Structure 1
Amino acid sequence: MMLFDPTAIIQPESSEAPAASARGLIKTYGQGDTLVHALRGIDLDLARGQFTAIMGPSGSGKSTLMHCLAGLDRASGGTLEVGGTQLGTLDDNALTIFRRRHIGFVFQSFNLLPMLTAQQNILLPLELAGHRIDDTVRERAQSLAGTLGLTARLDHRPSALSGGQQQRVAIARALITQPDLLFADEPTGNLDSAASADVLDHLRRSTREFGQTVVMITHDQAAATYADDVILMQDGRIV
């Protein structure tokens, strides 16, 4: 039995410009006999402050779409705007700076540095970008930790945290830079069902309490029920 009905999803009405917008987005790999059409003319608007899940079978193009939206890969055709910036106009250096300032990532494997505490892992993106860690930044980190249920665990290293707690640290680390878009790539893939529900609930709360725009790649229908919108992909198209 399906856990959600895609035909019942209602697109939210908003007068705000979308957080990201794609028109006629095409991505191909190879050439000649080895040419692969990963994206076939994608038209998409991602509403600000919404939690969107992108689903589809392996090879459907969902990861390629995320990589293009996140500026990790360049589209072969069409236009792509994120946070009011046309990504196709940026050179590689400008694209790297744009990602650092406007894009957040949460991965299946957590990717925390084992020698750092939870708080140090959360603050790391700002330190790498050369930001001064002042009282305002520390207050923001404390607020994130409180919302994500991490206040009592900030002095612990990853090895002393459960999988769900590590993933919540990864979410806080992604949110500390206040990105225009937060991408979560199979964020519950390494978690049991209870920890998965906990992490998904916190991702949903980040849209409610921080106004964050979250895009999650998942193959799990149960995970997708936490999202405001669900995009289904197949053969490089939104279906």
Structure 2
Amino acid sequence: MTEHVVELDRVAKRFGAVTALDAVTLGFARGTFTAVMGPSGSGKSTLLQVAAGLDRPTEGTVRLAGTDLGPLSETRLTVLRRDRIGFVFQAFNLLSSLTAEQNVALPLRLAGRRPARREVRAVLAAVGLADRARHRPAELSGGQQQRVAIARAVITRPDVLFADEPTGALDSHTGREVLGLLRSMVDGQGQTVVMVTHDPVAAAHADRVVFLADGRVAGEMAAPTPQAVAERMTGLETTGAGR
């Protein structure tokens, strides 16, 4: 039986009269790379936020490695997110006054741990920045800053890495490098990655693509190619899916 790191069971999320997610049931298997796509307003970001415990569902159950997030207090949920979930966003969210290695070490310090320099340097080396440890964000390119953000996200060895448009602020060449890095972490380290994207080329780096429309799962695609993903997206958009 496939081990699902993240499971959503009939999850709904409503904001007043607006239903952002409607009875979504999904599983994300350990050591896999999943892209989530859909027209604007289809519920992609809401799905990520609910799956990552950043927001609570209106109905349904979200589990992380078997732990039901519903009964957890805000304090316990915060600790779980800090220790077991990694986040990468379009904005790099690095602290400008800190060096690359200090930014990467920050989650460990927030958890009350004293990070070992060799541990931090090893993670930076894994993302190709062994020679940039003492550089501050202003001294790094956009792609290098995103690599620091990825290193920071995985320093705690999270069960799952959630990425929301991680290449949205990068040029196409740099974006491919970052996607290649995420792919190598899945293949080489067994990392589980769930990525929201609007880009068919980015989605083609994943093992599968989950399509959303109007807050519901509108299909999946295994072994995606950019052309096949683009055609499916065109079909969703021309049928009026999404708000």
TM-score by length of 2: 0.87
Query: Which residue of structure 1 lines up, in the alignment, with residue 24 of structure 2?
Result: 42
Gaps of 5+ in 2: 219-243
Runs (4+) of structure 1 exceeding 3 A deviation are: none
SS at match of 1:19: strand
SS in structure 2 at match of 1:238? strand
Task: In structure 1, list runs of 5 or more residues that go unmatched.
Answer: 1-14
- Calculate the aligned-residue CA RMSD, in Å: 1.0
Aligned to 1:152: 131
AA in 2 matched with 1:60: S
% identical aligned pairs: 54
Q: Does 1:205 align with 2:147?
A: no
Query: Counterpart of 1:187?
Result: 166
1:35-184 equivalences under 5 Å are: 35-134=17-116, 138-184=117-163
Q: Distance in 2 between matches of 1:29 and 1:133?
A: 40
Other structure's SS at 1:132 match: coil
1:22 aligns with: 8
Distance 1:127 1:217 in 2: 28
Cα deviation, 1:69-101, whole Å, max 9, x if unaligned, reads 110110011111112210111111111111111
1:139-193 deviation per Cα after TM superposition (whole angstroms, max 9, x unaligned): 3322222221100111111111000000000000000011111111101111001
Report the count of equivalent residues: 218
Give the partner amino acid of 2:74.
D
What is the rounded CA distance, in whole Å, between the counterparts of 2:140 and 2:47 in structure 1? Answer: 32
Deviations 1:188-226 (A, max 9, x none): 111001100000100111112221111111001110011
Q: Which amino acid aligns with 2:4?
A: P
Query: What is the alpha-carbon distance in structure 1 between the residues aligned to residue 4 and residue 119 of structure 2?
Result: 25
